[in-house]
Amino acid sequence: MNSRKSASVLSVLLVLIFVTLFAHAAFAAGTPETAARTRSITYLTHPVLFAAMGGEAAISAFTARTGIEVEVITMPIPQIREKIMAEFIAGTSTFDVINMNDAIFNTDVTPNLEPLDRYLASSPPVDYSDVIPGVVDMFRVGDSLYAMPNRVGTGVVYYRTDLFEEYGIAIPRTHAELLEAARRLTLDLDGDGVTDIYGMGIKAGDTQTLGSDFIRYFFSFGGDLMNDDLTEIRFNRDAGVQTLDLYRTLVREGLVDQEYTTWLADDLVVAQQQGRVAMALHFSPSYGRLNNPDVSTIAGNVSAFPVPTAPGVPIGRTWSSAWGLALNRNSRNKDAGWELIREFLSPETQLRSGLEFNNGPVRASVYQNPRFINFLSEDVAGAWLKGLENGVGLPPHPQWAEMEDALSRAVFQVVGGSASARDALNRAAQEVERILR
């Protein structure tokens, strides 16, 4: 009897010990939310982007709300690329959340990133359907999503509203209409035989600048740089030739300032600020400089329209670029990292960063928000949104920079008159095919 009682007492004690240990472990681990509140994460980002997302104040508010401590490390783009590649090769988890743009994101990186699809399924950002799908797709490879966008920009045409009104010009929707508007707005105001205002602005100060602008127009003709599985080059098809025909027409008819061969992005902005250019395709954040009365003579008379397109191509289709937030696959704090990503994608954060820090929001609702419309203007906000909805990202091929360099040299030859469009693009395609092989 005593032995049975001793065994019974021992059993009860073991059960109590087991329950106590289990409860302690459960308390330590808790639900995913509780677990996240006891963790710390390291966030690698670009200094400008960190400031645009609210800086230390935003991180402090996030920590106060969630209990998640965040160590922020900022670096320029080349150093981010070097650091994460070294991290991935070593298989370490120094960085939990990584900000990357299309200069960093590619198929060499994705095997080291955590696919986000299961997080989206179980704990999506608030009002996730409001996040612009075309922007999200820039970080999708195959069937998997590897980053969530938190800052975006696109191409839009900024134009002189006073000149459009004075000469009765409608907003162009096709390339033919864009050319006609450029012809009507190339003006000799004093009749001295010298053009005072050029209808269109382009820039070709170096091969990279010209190549980037070529891609913006190329997408508007419906072109694709590569096929979906990144095994075939497509920039030498009809859309490429049509893009270069547009360039040559602008140059041949004197619709652009001949100094375009020395202009980089800043030079074109300055020329338009000075009133020398009526229209120009810019990266969307240029609006702040063009409409700044302290530096721009056209401030108050500048607006935007989506990039005109070829028949059958959605209005505004052009090159868009984005910064995205990714999780290191080796991270031990993925749940906490996902909470930070959700924070940066929240409607409140996206609106605040757009209004206070000129950040390009990733939510459609921000571009339709009365405060943001008042900040930009209805037309400018609408042009940005249309470009983002129909925009296209660069191919996520790890050697795209080399391929783009070959393409840019071909474009430079054609615009300079030393080669035909078809021949130059075909030669560039052959060079890229060697890179692919």
List the chain domain ranges.
32-152+321-385, 155-319+399-436
Distance in angstroms (rounded) separating the CA atoms of residues 189 and 196: 6
Q: What pLDDT sits at residue 102?
A: 87
Q: What pLDDT sits at residue 39?
A: 80
Question: Three-state SS across 93-146?
Answer: CCCCEEEEECCCCCCCCHHHECCCHHHHHHCCCCCHHHECHHHHHHHEECCEEC
The model's pLDDT over 271-313, given as tens digits with 9 standing for 90+, comes to 999 999 999 999 999 999 999 999 999 999 999 999 999 999 9
In the predicted model, what is the mean pLDDT of residues 415-434? 93
Q: What does pTM read for this prediction?
A: 0.88
Q: What pLDDT sits at residue 20?
A: 36
Q: Which tokens in the block code for residue 203?
A: 């820039």
Query: Would you mind telling me the total number of residues written for the chain in this entry?
Result: 437
Q: What pLDDT sits at residue 14?
A: 36
Q: Which fold has domain 32-152+321-385?
A: D-Maltodextrin-Binding Protein; domain 2 (3.40.190)
Share of the chain above pLDDT 90, in %: 87
Looking at residue 300, its amino acid is G
Closest CA to 162 of 312, 355, 300: 300
CA distances from 111 to 85, 115, 331, 394 (A): 11, 9, 13, 19
Q: Which fold has domain 155-319+399-436?
A: D-Maltodextrin-Binding Protein; domain 2 (3.40.190)
Burial of 229 (0-12, 13-18, 19+ CB in 10 A): exposed
Cα dihedral sign for 317, 323, 327, 333?
negative
The pairing of strands 40-45 and 69-74 is parallel
The answer to whether domain 32-152+321-385 and domain 155-319+399-436 are alike in fold is yes
82 Cβ neighbours under 8 A, 6+ residues apart:
none
In the predicted model, what is the mean pLDDT of residues 419-434? 94
Indicate if the pLDDT at residue 13 is higher than 70: no
In the predicted model, what is the mean pLDDT of residues 21-33? 38
